[in-house]
């Protein structure tokens, strides 16, 4: 029945195509592919903004007494005065770097871009279940972006209480010095929540109902599995954040005191609500990346994914455990220490499915025929960096060690190994990998490889030493660390980190140049440039509106590479019948 | 510079540091295994013209091995961490006869109330000093940690002590310094514009010196 519905909507869409104006086709489009590209442009822009904020922070951290920043014309005197970043502005940078990267860059790039682009194509359907809802999920992000950017220029500047918005600091303008900026950011967050919830409903419905004939659950590519589970996480977690955000707006504006002790409220309640959302959020930010990595490693190794079922089970168990570990952010918060015991155990056990995934990725590469193109390099980079981020997590899961390293740069190193070394590496890989499908041309390989090596080396020069700075005891979010006796002697390391960070940021422009240059000058791709098996590669690049002339039929699992019975080529598309390609293969 | 934990001067710090190094060794081995394996595979299985990959969908035996081994290591580590945590933080292990201080954080200062010569808080000879924390060595110390405005975090790196100060709550924190010396309290939780300079000096005295310091301070405040 699901198929009939899919075909019916598909025909309606195909029919519509001829009558569409420019505005309907490229701006207010309901085509999942156009919406994905809109998300991609949007998120790449905010990735740059988030990076820029980080560069300003790094300047301040390395040279707190230097000044000389020519930013006076851009930001008001209350933020940057005669070349000096003021504490007001530094707190805004800290807060908005984290907020922009998590909510406006990485999360919508993982989900908004790739769930939109890949779910209908990899499942073999014409579009999303609810195309108009899908359009709304993009357009809800637009006011969020505008509010965020605007908040830098209002009186008091942008939000300055950290991306975790801990109350009472975030709730009392008299204590942060930030009034309107904090409210604007919370309103942006409400729009982001709306976008994410609408998107999730769509991804879940489409995955359950609109799979092509023969696409059983255990034949879905791991990208789809990861995006599907991510959508469930987002649907359960985002409403909590939105509700908490609205409560915080009330505390700021109409005199409630949910989180203010003087009115009977509880500051820790905010932390529980925030992290009840926040920890599933961490997995929202990594599961899709794991999915892309599995796909790219399989294609690039010319081998089926090692332990497909174990990979699916690991995804599901990470998602489940992700909901019962939030308290590990609160070991030193004043929460009852006995609760900490339970959270230690659940947290440490997330290491098990993470280890399973890492070993299965290595298993996928083992005895492969590795094609080390840019996408593959980033996918391998993901495994290598995610492993470091996972292992450094063991230190903070162990509560006694966390007493010391909590709120130090050790945590900053950890989160960036997961979110940059993990999520962003996988995202770069995904862009190199699916760009030919999106735009019909392959991104330049030479530039891609240079971009990979610059990113890989500089990333490690930036973030590995942060473990050391954290061990020395440098606190997070410190405007100027030079006044502390125990932090004497780390100035050189901080300067090195900052120089490497500037290089890392600059290397992003090589990627951006390659991205736009290849639109016109890239090598023509053809339908299937990587000889890949999943359905999206079995339709022209870029696919037409509606994706398929005829809905494909799926005969087997997603990663049939180097099947011994298939001769002449080392792959078998999901919609190719093994016994037609090679009679001997029919038995599998 | 050397990337090292600062020297430890507290009783709890010994086990915390020990656990840190144990985890570093375990994760270090895992790190070498994974990164070495990836590098080796990249070299050994690098694509060659005409080569064909080995066709396999996995191995249940391997899945069991690499599920069970990490699970066992993690279970042991978890049990040990939990035991150490309980020793340090468990309410039942709060020292009964500790010398108590009241520490109140507010933007951007630490106010320390001393028990006075009668060694008891809440009596007439208590006195409060701004941004100076003096206490005796080799004695159980308990601070009652409060905040007047936003969340701060009480952090003395050399004593391996960190605890958030939350408005509306009084949180007991205990520790025992093993050597005399001068340190600093840092605020480890973003608390506003002056967060970066919210520090106080810490002086760990010998018992006799502490009594002398308190007596001189008390007489000063009394005048």
Q: Which residues of A touch B54 (CB under 8 A)?
A: 303, 366-368, 562
Examine residue B51 and state whether it is found in any structural domain, yes or no: no
**Percent of chain A having pLDDT more than 70?**
95
- My answer on whether B40 and B114 are in the same domain is no
Residue B155 belongs to domain with CATH number: 2.60.40.420
* Residue ranges of domains in chain A, CATH in brackets: 1-281 (1.20.210.10), 286-521 (1.20.210.10), 539-588 (no CATH)
- My answer on whether B110 and B200 are in the same domain is yes
pLDDT, residue A8, reads 44
Distance from C-alpha of B74 to C-alpha of A507, rounded to nearest angstrom: 38
- My answer on whether B144 and B65 are in the same domain is no
- Final residue before a domain boundary, out of B37, B65, B91: B91
Of B18, B153, B5, the residue nearest A467 (C-alpha): B5
- My answer on whether B122 and B61 are in the same domain is no
Of A368, A409, A444, A430, the residue nearest A39 (C-alpha): A430
- My answer on whether B119 and B215 are in the same domain is yes
Distance from C-alpha of A205 to C-alpha of A48, rounded to nearest angstrom: 33
Examine residue B2 and state whether it is found in any structural domain, yes or no: no
Contact B3 A471 (CB under 8 A): yes
Asked whether the predicted pLDDT for residue A585 surpasses 80, the reply is no
Contact A398 B23 (CB under 8 A): yes
Distance from A33 to chain B by nearest Cα, in Å?
Answer: 32
Asked whether the predicted pLDDT for residue A118 surpasses 80, the reply is yes
Tell me which of A312, A403, A487, A496 to substitute to probe the interface with B (most B C-beta atoms closer than 10 Å): A403
Candidates B16, B24, B35; nearest CB to A387: B35
The model's pTM: 0.94
pLDDT, residue A74, reads 85
Examine residue B116 and state whether it is found in any structural domain, yes or no: yes
Examine residue B168 and state whether it is found in any structural domain, yes or no: yes
Candidates B1, B67, B168; nearest CB to A261: B168
Q: Which residues of B touch A570 (CB under 8 A)?
A: 52-53
pLDDT tens for chain B, residues 1 to 223? 567 899 999 999 999 999 999 999 999 999 999 999 999 999 999 998 888 999 999 999 999 999 999 999 999 999 999 999 999 999 899 999 999 999 999 999 999 999 999 999 999 989 999 999 999 999 999 999 999 999 999 999 999 999 999 999 999 999 999 999 999 999 999 999 999 999 999 999 999 999 999 999 877 766 5
- My answer on whether B211 and B192 are in the same domain is yes
Q: CB within 8 A of B212, min separation 6: which ones?
A: none
Q: CB within 8 A of B42, min separation 6: which ones?
A: A365, A370, A372, A380
Alpha helices in A307-444 (DSSP H): 308-321, 337-349, 351-365, 374-397, 399-405, 409-418, 425-439
- Cα B110 from chain centroid? 18
pLDDT, residue A3, reads 42
Q: How buried is B130 (Cβ within 10 angstroms: 0-12 exposed, 13-18 middle, 19+ buried)? A: exposed
Contact A486 B41 (CB under 8 A): no
Examine residue B4 and state whether it is found in any structural domain, yes or no: no
Q: Which residues of A touch B19 (CB under 8 A)?
A: 398, 400-401
| Residue B82 near residue A345, CB atoms below 8 Å | yes
- My answer on whether B109 and B87 are in the same domain is no
Examine residue B5 and state whether it is found in any structural domain, yes or no: no
- My answer on whether B22 and B123 are in the same domain is no
| Upstream peptide bond of B108 is cis (omega within 30 degrees of 0) | yes
- My answer on whether B218 and B172 are in the same domain is yes
| Residue B139 near residue B207, CB atoms below 8 Å | yes
Distance from A299 to chain B by nearest Cα, in Å?
Answer: 11
Q: What is the DSSP string of A127-178?
A: S-S-HHHHHHHHHTHHHHHHHHHHGGGSTT-S--STTTT-TTGGG-HHHHS-
Examine residue B1 and state whether it is found in any structural domain, yes or no: no
Domain tally, chain B: 2
Residue B104 pairs with which residues in a beta bridge?
A: B111, B146
Contact B196 A478 (CB under 8 A): yes
| Residue listed under structure tokens 């800290």 | A94
Cα torsion angle, A339, A342, A348, A349, sign:
negative
- Final residue before a domain boundary, out of B91, B117, B148: B91
Q: Which residues of A touch B45 (CB under 8 A)?
A: 301, 365-370
- My answer on whether B118 and B210 are in the same domain is yes
Examine residue B113 and state whether it is found in any structural domain, yes or no: yes
Of A228, A33, A12, the residue nearest A135 (C-alpha): A33
Q: CB within 8 A of B115, min separation 6: which ones?
A: B99, B100, B101, B121, B123, B126
- My answer on whether B78 and B141 are in the same domain is no
- My answer on whether B86 and B103 are in the same domain is no
Mean pLDDT, residues A39-56: 97
Candidates A356, A392, A399; nearest CB to B81: A399
Interface of A with B in 470-529 (CB under 8 A): 471-473, 475-481, 483-486, 489-490, 492-493
Which two tokens mark A528? 């299937």
Range of the domain at B140: 99-222
């Amino acid at each position: 029945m699901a198929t009939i519905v899919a075909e019916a909507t598909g025909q309606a869409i195909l029919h519509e195509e001829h009558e569409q104006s420019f505005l309907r086709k490229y701006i207010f489009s309901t085509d999942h592919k156009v919406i994905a590209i809109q998300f991609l442009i949007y998120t790449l822009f905010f990735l740059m903004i988030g990076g820029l904020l980080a560069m300003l922070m790094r300047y301040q951290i390395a040279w707190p007494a230097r000044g000389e920043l020519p930013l006076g014309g851009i930001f008001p005197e209350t933020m940057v005065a005669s070349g000096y970043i003021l504490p007001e502005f530094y707190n805004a940078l800290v807060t908005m770097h984290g907020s922009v990267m998590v909510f406006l860059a990485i999360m919508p790039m993982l989900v908004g871009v790739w769930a939109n682009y890949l779910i209908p194509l990899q499942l073999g359907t014409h579009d999303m279940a609810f195309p108009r809802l899908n359009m709304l999920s993009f357009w809800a992000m637009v006011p969020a972006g505008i509010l965020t950017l605007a908040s830098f220029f209002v009186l008091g500047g942008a939000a300055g209480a950290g991306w975790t918005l801990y109350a009472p600091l975030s709730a009392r303008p008299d204590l942060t010095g930030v009034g309107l900026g904090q409210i604007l950011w919370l309103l942006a967050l409400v729009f982001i929540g709306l976008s994410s919830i609408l998107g999730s409903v769509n991804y879940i419905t489409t995955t359950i109902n609109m799979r092509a004939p023969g696409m059983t659950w255990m034949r879905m590519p791991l990208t789809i599995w990861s995006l599907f589970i991510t959508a469930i996480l987002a649907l359960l977690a985002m409403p909590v954040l939105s509700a908490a955000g609205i409560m915080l707006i009330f505390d700021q504006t109409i005199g409630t005191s949910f989180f203010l002790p003087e009115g009977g409220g509880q500051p820790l309640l905010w932390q529980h609500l925030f992290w009840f959302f926040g920890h599933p959020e961490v997995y929202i930010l990594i599961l899709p990346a794991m999915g892309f990595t599995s796909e790219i490693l399989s294609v690039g190794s010319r081998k089926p994914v090692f332990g497909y079922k174990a990979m699916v089970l690991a995804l599901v168990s990470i998602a489940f455990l992700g909901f019962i570990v939030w308290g590990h952010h609160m070991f030193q918060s004043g929460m009852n220490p006995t609760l900490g015991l339970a959270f230690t155990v659940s947290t440490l056990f997330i290491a098990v499915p993470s280890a399973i995934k890492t070993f299965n990725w290595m298993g996928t590469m083992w005895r492969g025929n590795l094609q080390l193109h840019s996408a593959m390099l980033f996918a391998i980079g993901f495994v290598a960096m995610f492993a470091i981020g996972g292992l450094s997590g063991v230190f903070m899961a162990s509560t006694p060690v966390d007493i010391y390293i909590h709120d130090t740069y050790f945590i900053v190193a950890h989160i960036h190994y997961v979110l940059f070394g993990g999520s962003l590496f996988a995202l770069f890989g995904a862009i190199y990998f699916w760009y030919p499908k999106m735009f019909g041309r392959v991104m330049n390989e030479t530039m891609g490889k240079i971009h990979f090596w610059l990113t890989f080396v500089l990333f490690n020069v930036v973030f590995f030493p942060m473990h050391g700075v954290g061990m020395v005891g440098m606190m997070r979010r410190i405007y100027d660390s030079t006044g502390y006796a125990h932090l004497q002697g780390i100035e050189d390391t901080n300067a090195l980190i900052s120089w490497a960070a500037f290089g890392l940021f600059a290397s992003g422009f090589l990627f951006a140049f390659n991205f736009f240059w290849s639109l016109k000058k890239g090598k023509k791709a053809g339908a299937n440039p990587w000889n890949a098996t999943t359905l999206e590669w079995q339709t022209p690049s870029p696919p037409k509106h509606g994706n398929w002339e005829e809905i494909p039929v799926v005969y087997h699992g997603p990663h049939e590479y180097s099947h011994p019975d298939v001769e002449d080529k080392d792959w078998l598309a999901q919609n190719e019948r093994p016994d037609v390609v090679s009679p001997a293969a029919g038995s599998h | 510079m050397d990337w090292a934990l600062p020297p430890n001067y507290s009783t709890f710090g010994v086990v915390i540091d020990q656990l840190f190094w144990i985890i570093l060794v375990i994760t270090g081995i895992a790190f070498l295994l994974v990164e070495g394996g990836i590098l080796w595979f990249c070299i050994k299985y690098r694509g060659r013209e005409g080569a064909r990959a080995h066709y396999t969908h996995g191995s249940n035996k391997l899945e069991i091995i690499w599920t069970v081994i990490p699970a066992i290591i993690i279970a042991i580590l978890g049990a040990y961490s939990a035991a150490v945590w309980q020793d340090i933080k468990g309410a039942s292990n709060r020292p009964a006869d500790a010398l108590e201080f009241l520490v109140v954080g507010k933007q951007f200062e630490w106010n320390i109330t001393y028990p006075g010569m009668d060694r008891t808080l809440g009596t007439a000879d208590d006195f409060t000093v701004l941004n100076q924390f003096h206490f005796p060595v080799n004695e159980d110390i308990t601070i009652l940690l409060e905040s007047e405005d936003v969340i701060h975090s009480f952090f003395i790196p050399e004593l391996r002590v960190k605890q958030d100060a939350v408005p509306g709550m009084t949180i007991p924190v205990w520790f025992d310094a093993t050597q005399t010396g001068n340190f600093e309290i840092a605020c480890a939780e973003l608390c506003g514009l002056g967060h970066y300079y919210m520090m106080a000096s810490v002086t760990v005295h010998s018992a006799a010196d502490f009594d002398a310091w308190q007596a001189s301070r008390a007489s000063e405040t009394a005048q």
